[in-house]
Amino acid sequence: MTISRREFCAVTGSGLVALGLPGCGSVPKATGVANAGPPAGIILNQAVFFKPQRLFVCRDAGGIFAVSSDCQHMHCDIENNNGVDPPDDGGIGKMYFYLCPCHQSGYTYTGEIVHGPTVRPLFHHPVSLDPVTGDVMADSSVILLSDADKAMRLGA
Ligand code: FES
């Protein structure tokens, strides 16, 4: 199942407010499609950060995918500080790949929760090849919600 960011906010906005969490209105808007260049430039187990689109383009053994940098705790931008120990990690070490700078939520390379305070994993966004250039394009305006969609990879 996929959903646009606008649809997601329309469906969940009031629910988030009811839970006392920030609604979509307070979330900085990611804009558009990131051009990650040729597939060969996307290195296994590395994440390339695209700040305007607030996402990482990644490659695992299955192929290329995109993970949002929008922390699902209170929506700080995780940016590109992966693999850095927080000052008070309490021995957590480097089990996480992405570390939110605001309250130190940790996520795996695929955006699953390693430790809170977040209680939600990172969103995934669809990736495709540009039909003209062959570049990898990652669309931050669409959110992949189901486990099946999140498991999809671009095999390029
Ligand atoms: S906003 Fe990321 S941990 Fe709080």
Tokens of 89: 């990690």
CA 155 to chain centre: 19
Ligand 1 atom nearest to CA at 105: 3
39 C-alpha to center of ligand 1: Å? 31
Distance from the CA of 28 to the center of ligand 1, in angstroms? 14
Contacts 24+ apart (CB under 8 A), 6-9: 6/141, 8/143
C-beta neighbour count of 49 within 10 angstroms? 18
Q: In this structure, are strands 106-107 and 113-115 parallel, antiparallel, or unpaired?
A: antiparallel
Domain borders along the chain are 30-150
Mutate to test the pocket of ligand 1, among 73, 77, 107, 122 (most ligand atoms within 8 A of CB): 73
Q: Which residues contact 99 (CB under 8 A, 6 or more apart)?
A: 78, 81, 82, 83, 84, 86, 105, 106, 107
- What is the Å distance from ligand 1's center to 34 Cα? 24
Using a 10 angstrom Cβ sphere, with 0-12 exposed, 13-18 middle and 19 or more buried, the burial of residue 28 is exposed
pLDDT per position in the chain (156 positions), as tens? 566 555 554 444 433 333 333 334 344 456 799 999 999 999 998 889 998 999 999 999 999 999 999 999 999 999 766 555 554 555 555 567 888 889 889 888 899 998 889 999 999 999 999 999 999 999 999 999 889 999 999 997
Closest-CA residue to 153 (of 69, 58, 80, 68): 58
Q: How far is the CA of 139 from the centre of ligand 1 (A)?
A: 23
Cβ(120) – ligand 1 distance below 6 Å: no
- Pocket probe mutation, ligand 1, options 26, 54, 102, max atoms within 8 Å of Cβ: 102
Query: Which residues, in sequence order, are bridge partners of residue 97?
Result: none
Closest ligand 1 atom, residue 101 Cα:
2
Model confidence, pTM:
0.78
Which superfamily is assigned to 30-150 in CATH?
Answer: Rieske [2Fe-2S] iron-sulphur domain (2.102.10.10)
